């Protein structure tokens, strides 16, 4: 019996599209019963018709609703994927609601989802928790301070969970994707899908959501005593590091432009 056959039930947040939907498809292909969580009942209904998953329309930032819906479930696999980029701006240019949206969804909802799901796993001494962070949790990006900090919190959550769960038989894996072609930037760019494609994906060999799902399944299939603690999933053509320097004349020009707005 493989590890995936030993697990019976999974739950995936942010399941209506992108990486979340791809993970639902992959887990269903492994034979697991999958609860698919997202706000859009319509999108979940379509995914259920396609895959046979169990749709669970839910706003994960509503903690009381989250507890009521997820608490009673006997889960073997938890995939905390829901996240958002509400704005691509420097912190001092960001509105309160843009900041709160990212922290509420990317951090608070992620922590509460794990908090609610783990007691049953610990009692059964079986399970695998996947936390979707980002490569930006480990490398700074300009105009992305809130998002990168929120994903760094998820990364540290994964590391601490592994300490807290030693001896319980529960595995914890952080998946840290680089550039994946999804709609995560769509809201931040005013819903303009063509603009998202032009700025982020056209001319690049980006990762596809189903490729992230394949990595997750590979980690899930390993023997129970083997845990892939952190997996960076990046395009071959994407690299990190280096030093950024501001050209004095350009910086001064940018300052004059900002003061004239």
Q: What's the rounded Cα separation, in Å, for the pair 235 and 175? A: 14
Q: What's the rounded Cα separation, in Å, for the pair 144 and 111? A: 21
Beta carbons of 106 and 147 less than 8 angstroms apart: yes
Copy the structure tokens of residue 126. 């079986």
Q: How many helices (H) and strands (E) does the chain have?
A: 10, 7
Concerning whether 185 is annotated as a catalytic residue, the answer is: no
What backbone phi and psi angles, to 5 degrees, belong to 94? Answer: -90, 145
Catalytic residue among 7, 141, 147, 185: 147
Copy the structure tokens of residue 81. 């994927």
Beta carbons of 130 and 78 less than 8 angstroms apart: yes
Active site residues: 147
């Amino acid at each position: 019996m493989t590890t995936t056959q030993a697990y019976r039930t999974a739950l995936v947040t942010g399941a209506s599209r992108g990486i979340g939907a791809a993970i639902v498809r992959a887990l269903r292909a492994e034979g697991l019963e999958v609860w698919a969580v997202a706000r859009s009942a319509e999108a979940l209904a379509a995914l259920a018709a396609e895959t046979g998953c169990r749709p669970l329309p839910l706003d994960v930032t509503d903690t009381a609703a989250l507890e009521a819906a997820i608490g009673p479930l006997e889960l073997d696999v938890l995939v905390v994927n829901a996240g958002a980029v509400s704005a691509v701006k420097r912190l001092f240019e960001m509105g309160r609601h843009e900041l709160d949206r990212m922290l509420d969804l990317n951090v608070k909802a992620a922590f509460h989802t794990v908090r609610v799901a783990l007691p049953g796993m610990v009692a059964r001494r079986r399970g695998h928790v996947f936390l979707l962070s980002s490569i930006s949790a480990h490398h700074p990006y300009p105009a992305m301070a809130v998002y990168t900090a929120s994903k760094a919190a998820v990364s540290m959550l994964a590391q601490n969970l592994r300490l807290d769960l030693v001896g319980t038989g529960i595995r914890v894996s952080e998946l840290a994707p680089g550039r994946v072609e999804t709609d995560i930037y769509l809201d931040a760019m005013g819903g303009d899908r063509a603009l998202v494609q032009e700025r982020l994906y056209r001319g690049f060999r980006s990762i596809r959501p189903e490729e992230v799902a394949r990595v997750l399944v590979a980690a899930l299939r390993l023997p129970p005593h083997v845990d892939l603690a952190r997996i960076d999933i990046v395009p071959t053509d994407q690299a990190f590091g280096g030093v950024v320097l501001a050209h004095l004349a350009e910086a001064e020009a940018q300052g004059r432009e900002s003061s004239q707005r």
